[in-house]
Structure 1
Amino acid sequence: MLQNLNLSRKFNLLLLVVFLGAIALSGLAFSRILNRDAEQAVVGKANILMQTMLAVRDYTSEQINPELAPRLETEAEFLPQTVPGYSAREVFENLRKSPEYTDFFYKEATLNPTNLRDKADTFEASIVEQFRSNANLKELSGYRQSPAGRLYYTAKPIAITKESCLRCHSTPEAAPKSQLTTYGRENGFGWQLNEIVGAQMISVPASGVIDSARRAFLLFMGIVTGAFLLVMSLLNWLLRRAVINPIKGMATVANEISLGNMDADFQQKSNDEIGKLAAAFNRMKTSLSMAMEMLGQRE
């Protein structure tokens, strides 16, 4: 089939094959780089927020709780500000009031919480159970779907490492009266020392970052395709000007000479291969003309 194509079409076909191979390889490599960078951006946001919440918890545990803990016995209502998890959640909810953080989520998902807003849903409960079944597992992360779109989550286990925590979570009899007044006697008890009771989870939106990476990829492919079309058009113009048109001219002259028109001449003034071919044709025409004259003299 290729032998039936003219030189221009053969050249364009070869160039197209090379382009498709190059664009497939470069597109694949660029796509992987964009996806990796997008995921790193999402993971970076999640890690920063996680460390911030851990700092809030530490601040509450070390500075707020010692000041407010004595009042738990005298206040009519429980003071949730003494709980590190409550402080972290409240700080994060204030952060979510900003439009750019509306779709960010923080939760200390617990299987049996005192405050039911911390109750783990089905997905969160499965994360907690993974931590409970493998004590060496220190972190889990991945993607999940939500009404807000695709979310990247990172989770760390919540373990009871201090005996002081058991005062509020061992039995109702040991808990402060204000806690029982506020939350009742049914939830948040029966915890054990070193038991994993929940998971600290940060969820950040991934759809926006991934969509930006996809747009960047499409822009890249569009630019590369446009550049290829421009280069292909320029090469075709140069091919016609420097190769195809001179060859067509020589073919026309050769055809005229074959019909007996010895006045036809090959006009090519360049010093490239086409010019040398034209000069060779002119020498051949001269030799042919001399040979015909010699034959005519002999007759």
Structure 2
Amino acid sequence: MLKNLKIGTKFNLILMLVFLVSIFVTGLALSRVLEQRAQNEVTSQALILIKTMNSVRSYTQNRINGLLAPRLATEPAFIPETVPAFSATEVFEYLRKNPEYENFLYKEATLNPTNLRDKADNFEAKLVEQFRQNPKTPEISGFRDFPDGQVFYIARPLAVTQQSCLQCHSTPDQAPKSLLATYGTENGFGWKLNDIIAAQIISVPSEDVFANANRTWKLIMGLLVAIFAIVVLLINYLIKKTVIQRIRKIEKIAQQVSTGDMSADFAEQSHDEIGGLAAAFNRMKASLEIAMNLLNQQNH
């Protein structure tokens, strides 16, 4: 079938094949690069925020707790600012009042929390169990669907690393009276040293980031398709002008010569391969003309 096609058609088929393969490979590679870039962007945002919250926790533990802890035994109500988890959560809620961060989430999801605000849901409880089953796992990340859209999360284990934490979380009789007065005796007890009791989770909205990456991909691919199309059309025009039309002209003259019209001339000004072919045809025509003249002379 290909043997019956004209040179121009064959060349166009090759160009289209190269065009399609190039677009496919380029699109696939570009998609992966942009997707990885979007992934890195949301991961970077999450890591910055989780490091910030850890700084708040450390400041509360090392500075605020020492100042306020003595008052826990005398105050009628518990002072939650002494708890690193409370301080980090409150600071993050202030951050969420900014419109650009309103869909970001921070939670120290706990299986048995003192403050029920920190109670882990089913998804978060599974993360805590994963950390408990694999204590050496430093971090778990992935995507989670919320009503407002998909988010990227990073979760890290939180363990009881200081003996002082057990003052409020071992047994009710060891806890400050102000804590019992505020939160009761049912929740947040039975913790043990070095036990993983929670997962620190930061959630970053990812749909907009990936949507921007998708729009960028479409824009770049559109430009590439347009550029490839222009290049194909330009090459096709040049091939037609510099090769196909000149070969057709030589073919037409050759047909005239084959019917005995020796006045036809393979006129070709260029010195390229096609010009050389035309010169060779002219020499062949001259040789043929001489041979025919000699043959006529012998016949007479």
- TM category, shorter: over 0.9
Q: Is the partner of 2:173 in helix, strand or coil?
A: coil
Q: Is the partner of 2:292 in helix, strand or coil?
A: helix
Looking at structure 2, the residues matched to 294 and 147 of structure 1 have their Cα atoms a distance apart, in angstroms, of 97
Q: How far 1:55 sits from its partner (Å)?
A: 0.3
- State the Cα RMSD in Å: 1.3
Matches within 5 A, 1:206-285: 206-285=206-285
Looking at structure 2, the residues matched to 131 and 277 of structure 1 have their Cα atoms a distance apart, in angstroms, of 79
Q: How far 1:266 sits from its partner (Å)?
A: 1.3
> Which residue is 2:141 aligned to?
141
> Which residue is 2:296 aligned to?
296
Q: Is the partner of 1:234 in helix, strand or coil?
A: helix
**Deviation string, structure 1 residues 11-42 (Cα, Å, up to 9, x no partner):** 11111222222333333222222222221111
Q: Amino acid of the residue matched to residue 68 of structure 2?
A: L
Q: How far 1:76 sits from its partner (Å)?
A: 2.1
Higher mean C-alpha deviation, range 166-175 or range 237-246: 166-175
Looking at structure 2, the residues matched to 290 and 162 of structure 1 have their Cα atoms a distance apart, in angstroms, of 112
Matches within 5 A, 1:103-122: 103-122=103-122
**Deviation string, structure 1 residues 145-204 (Cα, Å, up to 9, x no partner):** 112322111111111111111111112222122212211111111111111111111111
Looking at structure 1, the residues matched to 135 and 263 of structure 2 have their Cα atoms a distance apart, in angstroms, of 98
- Structure 1 gaps, min length 5: none
The reply on whether 1:95 has 2:87 as its aligned counterpart is: no
**Deviation string, structure 1 residues 57-83 (Cα, Å, up to 9, x no partner):** 000111111111122222222111111
Looking at structure 2, the residues matched to 139 and 254 of structure 1 have their Cα atoms a distance apart, in angstroms, of 79
Looking at structure 2, the residues matched to 136 and 253 of structure 1 have their Cα atoms a distance apart, in angstroms, of 84
TM-score w.r.t. structure 1 length? 0.96
> Which residue is 2:196 aligned to?
196
Looking at structure 1, the residues matched to 127 and 273 of structure 2 have their Cα atoms a distance apart, in angstroms, of 73
**Deviation string, structure 1 residues 254-294 (Cα, Å, up to 9, x no partner):** 11122222111112100001111111111111111122111
Looking at structure 2, the residues matched to 85 and 96 of structure 1 have their Cα atoms a distance apart, in angstroms, of 17
Higher mean C-alpha deviation, range 237-246 or range 285-294: 285-294
Q: Is the partner of 1:114 in helix, strand or coil?
A: coil
Q: Amino acid of the residue matched to residue 9 of structure 2?
A: R
Misfit runs of 4+, over 4 Å: none
Looking at structure 1, the residues matched to 278 and 151 of structure 2 have their Cα atoms a distance apart, in angstroms, of 69
Q: Amino acid of the residue matched to residue 43 of structure 2?
A: V
Q: How far 1:243 sits from its partner (Å)?
A: 0.5
Looking at structure 1, the residues matched to 225 and 269 of structure 2 have their Cα atoms a distance apart, in angstroms, of 36
Looking at structure 2, the residues matched to 137 and 275 of structure 1 have their Cα atoms a distance apart, in angstroms, of 74
Q: Amino acid of the residue matched to residue 96 of structure 1?
A: R
Looking at structure 2, the residues matched to 238 and 267 of structure 1 have their Cα atoms a distance apart, in angstroms, of 20
Higher mean C-alpha deviation, range 97-106 or range 27-36: 27-36
Matches within 5 A, 1:17-28: 17-28=17-28
Looking at structure 2, the residues matched to 133 and 250 of structure 1 have their Cα atoms a distance apart, in angstroms, of 82
Q: Amino acid of the residue matched to residue 5 of structure 2?
A: L
Q: Is the partner of 1:173 in helix, strand or coil?
A: helix
Q: Is the partner of 2:203 in helix, strand or coil?
A: strand
Q: Count residues with an aligned counterpart.
A: 299
Q: Amino acid of the residue matched to residue 242 of structure 1?
A: T
> Which residue is 2:158 aligned to?
158
- Structure 2 gaps, min length 5: none
Looking at structure 2, the residues matched to 137 and 253 of structure 1 have their Cα atoms a distance apart, in angstroms, of 81
Q: How far 1:51 sits from its partner (Å)?
A: 0.7
